[in-house]
Amino acid sequence: MRGQLPIDDTSPAVGERPPWRDPRLPPAERAAALVPLMTLEEKVAQLVGVWVGADASGGGVAPHQEEMAGVEFAEVIADGLGQLTRPYGTAPVDPVAGARSLAASQAQVVAASRFGIPAQVHEECLTGFAAWRATVYPAPLSWGASFDPELVERVAGHIGRSLRAAGVHQGLAPVLDVTRDYRWGRTEETIGEDPYLVGTVGAAYVRGLEGAGVVATLKHFAGYAASRGGRNHAPVAMGPRELADTVLPPFEMALRLGGARSVMNSYTELDGLPAAADERLLTGLLREEWGFTGTVVSDYFAVRFLERLHQVADGAGDAARLALRAGIDVELPTVDTFGAPLVEAVRAGEVDEALIDRALHRVLVQKAQLGLLDPDWQALTGDPAQLRLDDETGRELALRLAREAVVLLRNTGGVLPLAPGRRVALVGPVADDPLAMLGCYTFPAHVGPHPEHGLGVEVPSLREALAALVPDLAYAPGCDITGDDASGIPAAVAAAAGAEVCVLAVGDRAGLFGRGTSGEGCDAADLALPGVQGELVRAVLATGTPVVLVLLAGRPYALGPGTDAAAAVVCGFFPGQRGGQAVAEVLTGAVEPSGRLPVSVPRHAGGLPATYLSPPLGRRTEVSSVDPTPAYPFGHGLGYTTFDWSGAGGPAEWPVDGEVTVGITVRNTGERAGTEVVQLYLHDPVAQTTRPVVRLVGYARVALEPGRAARVAFTVPADLASFTGLRGRRIVEPGDVELRFGRSSADPAAVVPLRLTGAERETGPGRALLATATVTPIATPEEAAAPEEAAAPAEAATPAEAAAPTEAATPAEAVTPEEAVVPEEAVVPEGAA
């Protein structure tokens, strides 16, 4: 009988605890004990999810859902259940009521099957817990703009604790796709266009989530962001070197430095092979080479897409076979090909049951790690009555991250910060739109409008936040975000003309599959501002009033000749529910801008794709009439104070199997406190394959009061100079290189020439992935004369600090101005990190 078998004589005696229930045993041993006790139906039941809120009428949140949803809950859980899909993230539900509902569903799952194993629950959490009344944090491009992994880790930790308290075990984040084409609608979900930035910030997010006891899911493995024409799901044309050197490193970093326990496949095909069927990727690389032991979950409907979209499978059972063989363990979001079609294929001899056992063992190991095989598993769920998903701590973290992520791109004539008493007009279609703060994986944008429920959290618009700081603020929207109605532009022009300064806010509205200008399935044909916003910008600039152009968007739009007349330009990438406040505070000077661009801002709307990670011929040349030079390069960002960089130094040689320490002194020469982001780039002038002109290998945020200075040191392993060589292996090649201290990727402040010495070396699977940054305050002459006032010597950084290249490492002993100009090894004690 389905779901019921008599206890045989290999089972433990009645009253004894079977080994798989024993928390004292290792998870792998417990899983191995349970697998052979299960029937085929019970096995496959653990490899599927069920979307309890799925809407089979077609009103759901993913494409093709109407073809694949609509299962009966009682029927699908009869043999057990692997996962519950988004019980909070499908429709507005009060968190307390949602927690109680989830507990009731779990009780049904446990009662329905022979082994009584609860389901693993997953939710989206890219910009916070994607649930109604949960804090909405800035989008991942803002994480990148902060250049602050430590803060991102704190944010993720708070998100993870909220998920765990709500009975959620797995979060579908972070996105580690490296931006390759800004037209792609999901650019807003990426951390940036540089693999080192994506990897360090992404690993920090993973540490926060996993540290809270929630399984982090790395997505989308791999190559998704490089789709042709920036079109969602389009094929990827990419060679193995670009894949190895640009796309894959963030995933390796998040696994090794973050400890992620799950990976999600990409929808895309790479060189004609869909990722969901790519055994070399999901097993050969991920497990055999990198040593990953967690679970691989399918992106929603990706297994069925092997049949219906990619057309590489002959039916549902064949799709399941391809996915299992490749290395996918769990089919999400709901039972489909891994259900009856898979059972039938096994019974027909078309699928080896050993593949199911392999996936099942991984799933059960993870459930054991989460406590879901324990007799007292219910104790892991918090008290529903105490559940609060939008608390003061979360809101403050969201505000701090938004503040650090606002990027000041231009500031001429001292127009910013806005001087008190000046007449200010605020115009533009996103100026009074709370949704302009929210990315596509926030609950309001992702689930869709529910006017009767509202947004669920307070999201002040820029107008609301700026009006609290600027009295008598004039306002006119000018136009909508989309559409061709320009009838409101004259009123906006009049408001601007009557003001001493005009703040012009333009940008995006996030949505899904064409329901927005940014987000999943909302790709752009070019990088011109949507609708008639470009016409609005030109008209307002023509008034002659100094204009502060504010871009609130999910991708960089072209800011070329049409915006050169703007006195100032400020950028925020979907800065979250407190983003309006953060932008207003930067505009008025209440907060010092410290964000840096995680993506370049193009000068022209076409000529794509192009990011800063280009070899020489990918940049401006005399053999092409198209100039891809950006308006603002990766890493660019200004503040309201000034910094002087001096005394760059380091040794002359760098062993190919060692590390090198280089340093530079940064001094705040302005009248305001501020934060400089010191960036370190590698330039390899001659290599056996073409290389990017520069690429990021380290960075540090340096906060300084006026007149104060610090020595910033980077210890860089030679492995960070490695690349995929002629034979397809990652190597460190001897020869001349440069480490460039940069204010951005295009603005080197100092260059340290070095020679990599020794024989060519393969790095191997355990290669070093991080440079370590140390920020050492420099004593003033008065402080230097008073030894008792000097800072205490630093202790060596913890592994977590070493994994976050920020000011997290405590300062070494104070140094004099004279010491500050000698090579760095004289400043940073050996072993300090």
Tens digit of each residue's pLDDT (9 = 90 or more) over 676-734 = 999 999 999 999 999 999 999 999 999 999 999 999 999 999 999 999 999 999 999 99
What DSSP string describes 778-802?
EPPHHHHT-GGGSPPPPPPPPHHHH
**505 Cβ partners below 8 Å, 6+ apart?**
426, 427, 428, 429, 430, 431, 436, 462, 550, 552
Strands (E) across 294-354 are located at 295-297
Query: If 0-12 CB within 10 Å is exposed, 13-18 middle and 19+ buried, where does residue 800 land?
Result: middle
With 80 as the cut, is the pLDDT of residue 396 above it? Answer: yes
With 70 as the cut, is the pLDDT of residue 585 above it? Answer: yes
Q: What percent of the chain has pLDDT over 70?
A: 90
**What is the rounded distance in angstroms from the CA atom of residue 104 to the CA atom of residue 86?**
15
Instruction: Please report the sign of the dihedral spanned by the C-alpha atoms of residue 327, residue 330, residue 334, residue 337.
Output: positive
115-161: pLDDT as tens digits: 999 999 999 999 999 999 999 999 999 999 999 999 999 999 999 99
**What is the rounded distance in angstroms from the CA atom of residue 268 to the CA atom of residue 238?**
12
Q: What is the pLDDT of residue 451?
A: 77
Contact 446, 124 (CB under 8 A): yes
Strands (E) across 639-708 are located at 643-649, 653-655, 659-668, 674-683, 695-704
Q: What is the pLDDT of residue 609?
A: 79
Tokens of 42: 């019970």
With 80 as the cut, is the pLDDT of residue 665 above it? Answer: yes
**What is the rounded distance in angstroms from the CA atom of residue 67 to the CA atom of residue 55?**
10
Q: Predicted confidence band at 403 (pLDDT cuts at 50, 70, 90)?
A: very high
Q: What is the pLDDT of residue 801?
A: 42
Q: What is the pLDDT of residue 382?
A: 61
Tokens of 272: 């004609």
Tokens of 392: 């003061």
Q: What is the pLDDT of residue 642?
A: 97
**Average model confidence (pLDDT) for the chain?**
90
Name, of 272-276, 377-381, 826-830, the range with top average pLDDT: 272-276
42 Cα distance to chain centroid: 36
Q: Mean of the pLDDT values across residues 250-266?
A: 98
268-300: pLDDT as tens digits: 999 999 999 999 999 999 999 999 999 999 999
Contact 606, 470 (CB under 8 A): no
With 80 as the cut, is the pLDDT of residue 450 above it? Answer: no
148-190: pLDDT as tens digits: 999 999 999 999 999 999 999 999 999 999 999 999 999 999 9
Tokens of 593: 């801008």
With 50 as the cut, is the pLDDT of residue 808 above it? Answer: no
With 60 as the cut, is the pLDDT of residue 796 above it? Answer: no
Q: Predicted confidence band at 91 (pLDDT cuts at 50, 70, 90)?
A: confident
Q: What is the pLDDT of residue 381?
A: 60
Show the DSSP H helices in 336-408 as ranges: 340-347, 353-369, 392-405
Q: Mean of the pLDDT values across residues 6-28?
A: 71
Q: What is the pLDDT of residue 15?
A: 56
Q: Predicted confidence band at 447 (pLDDT cuts at 50, 70, 90)?
A: confident
Q: What is the pLDDT of residue 71?
A: 60
Specify the residue for token string 């020489």.
616
**What is the rounded distance in angstroms from the CA atom of residue 7 to the CA atom of residue 9?**
7
Contact 336, 342 (CB under 8 A): no
48-86: pLDDT as tens digits: 999 875 433 333 334 444 444 556 788 889 999 999 999
Contact 439, 572 (CB under 8 A): no
Q: Mean of the pLDDT values across residues 250-278?
A: 97
The model carries a pTM of 0.91
Q: What is the pLDDT of residue 809?
A: 36
CA atoms lying within 13 Å on the CB side of residue 812: 23
Q: What is the pLDDT of residue 783?
A: 80
With 90 as the cut, is the pLDDT of residue 807 above it? Answer: no
Q: What radius of gyration, in Å, describes the C-alpha atoms of the chain?
A: 27
Q: What is the pLDDT of residue 617?
A: 87
Identify the three-state secondary structure at position 80.
Answer: strand
What pairs with residue 296 in β-bridges? 263
Q: Mean of the pLDDT values across residues 601-629?
A: 88
Alpha-carbon torsion, ordered 618, 623, 625, 628, to 10 deg: 10
Q: Give the pairing type, strands 215-221 and 424-427.
A: unpaired
**What is the rounded distance in angstroms from the CA atom of residue 326 to the CA atom of residue 322?**
6
496-509: pLDDT as tens digits: 999 999 999 999 99
Q: What is the pLDDT of residue 790?
A: 45
With 90 as the cut, is the pLDDT of residue 1 above it? Answer: no
Q: Predicted confidence band at 618 (pLDDT cuts at 50, 70, 90)?
A: confident
Q: What is the pLDDT of residue 802?
A: 41
With 60 as the cut, is the pLDDT of residue 788 above it? Answer: no
Q: What is the pLDDT of residue 70?
A: 55
